[in-house]
A = this chain, B = another copy of it.
Amino acid sequence: MSEDSESVVIHGLVCPLPLVHDSTVVLGHGSGGKMTHDLITGRFYPPLANDDLLRGDDAAVLVSPGGERLALSTDSHIVSPLFFHGGDIGRLAVCGTVNDLAVMGARPQWLTAGFILEEGLPMYLLEQVLNSMQAAAEEAGVRIVAGDTKVVERGKADGLFINTAGVGWIPQGREVGGAYARPGDAVLVSGPIGNHGIAVLCARGELQFETEIESDVAPLNGLVEALFESCSTVHTLRDPTRGGVATTLNEIAHQSGVSIRLEESSIPVEEPVLAACEMLGFDPLYVANEGKLIIVLPDNLAETALGAIRSKPYGKGACRIGTVEEGEAGRVLMHTAIGGTRVVDVLAGEMLPRIC
């Protein structure tokens, strides 16, 4: 970091705002990285703490009065702009919550949708977003069963924010969570990374070149079902959204008290995404995905799992990217393409604000 408190350099970007600031909220608090983690653990956990919340998974796993296991999650969506190549805020809002449920092993069933509309939002944009939500809900096999709509004055919101919460049911025998990764486990990813973040950046007109990069935003519950049909044991599932694969793997390593070692040459990144990242000084490991799955499971099931998910459209590019090791708890190391080893830390500040 720079010595100047008005300007810090993080991931190659000069950030004009002080990113660490004790007394007010700053954009970095929404990054999904270290500052978000500090905000959650430092400000939200002390008053709200309970066992379910503290587990820190993508959805809470709860037990009904009759003994059924359900997953419950929530996500607010503030992506800017509302529409981008490959998706929009509506598809994002449905898929985000579907995926948070699916990575707990749940079969997503019902969603709620809460809308905050800015006065002046054109109705045809709202309708496009609603149509997109419904299409995504149908694709995922979920229903939007309850909603709420609020309107704020012009200039008090940015067009449209959508919160989705969701309920899914966890079939017997599925025990997945961030804390279940074990030394020796294989670490898989369901396809090339970084597309979503770069697609949103393109839609803002912030790239100086033409590109066809599409967001990967997609519901992953089909992929999760295919995985459980073929593999008896899956330890951890997670979708690497804000903070990217690097931050997600750090969370898993921390929750499970293990190390994770990555092979840089195995990490799939499409050529245009790589080119955009190089130009912008981004590391694709920190760029958000909205349709990718990180899978941690016993080494001897890795090939079976890869076969199962490669048979699905959203899992075609699946591959193994690393291994869980005993080592220092919470540490992620990468064997680099040029033969060295480096620590892969969590995202420190804010790289791409408002990408979901």
Contact = CB atoms under 8 A, between A and B. Distances in A.
Interface of A: 22-30, 36, 39-40, 43-44, 47-48, 50, 52-53, 59-60, 62, 64-68, 70, 72-78, 110, 112-124, 126-127, 130-131, 133-134, 137, 143-153, 155-158, 161, 163, 165, 167, 169, 353-354, 356
A37 to B, nearest CB: 11
B143 A50 contact: yes
Contacts of A354: 150, 152-153
Given A23-B122, A122-B24, A68 B74 contact: no
A25 B126 contact: yes
B76 A68 contact: no
Given A43-B127, A68-B64, A151 B121 contact: no
A44 B130 contact: yes
Contacts of A43: 123, 126-127, 130
B167 A74 contact: no
Contact of A74 (B39, B44, B113, B120): B113
B158 A156 contact: yes
Complex copy number for this chain: 2
Contacts of A133: 47-48
13 contacts: A24-B121, A25-B118, A40-B149, A47-B130, A53-B146, A64-B66, A72-B110, A74-B114, A74-B148, A74-B163, A150-B356, A153-B354, A157-B158
A117 B169 contact: no
Nearest to A107: B65
Contacts of A73: 112, 146
A354 to B, nearest CB: 6
A87 B55 CA distance: 30
A116 B74 contact: no
Contacts of A24: 119-123
A165 B48 contact: no
A30 B126 CA distance: 14
B123 A26 contact: no
B44 A76 contact: no
A62 B145 contact: yes
Given A113-B74, A133-B48, A29 B149 contact: yes
Contact of A30 (B59, B60, B143, B150): B150
Contacts of A161: 116, 157, 161
Contacts of A50: 143-145
Given A25-B118, A73-B146, A130 B48 contact: yes
Contacts of A30: 117, 149-152
Contact of A123 (B22, B119, B155): B22
A29 B150 CA distance: 8
A153 B22 contact: no
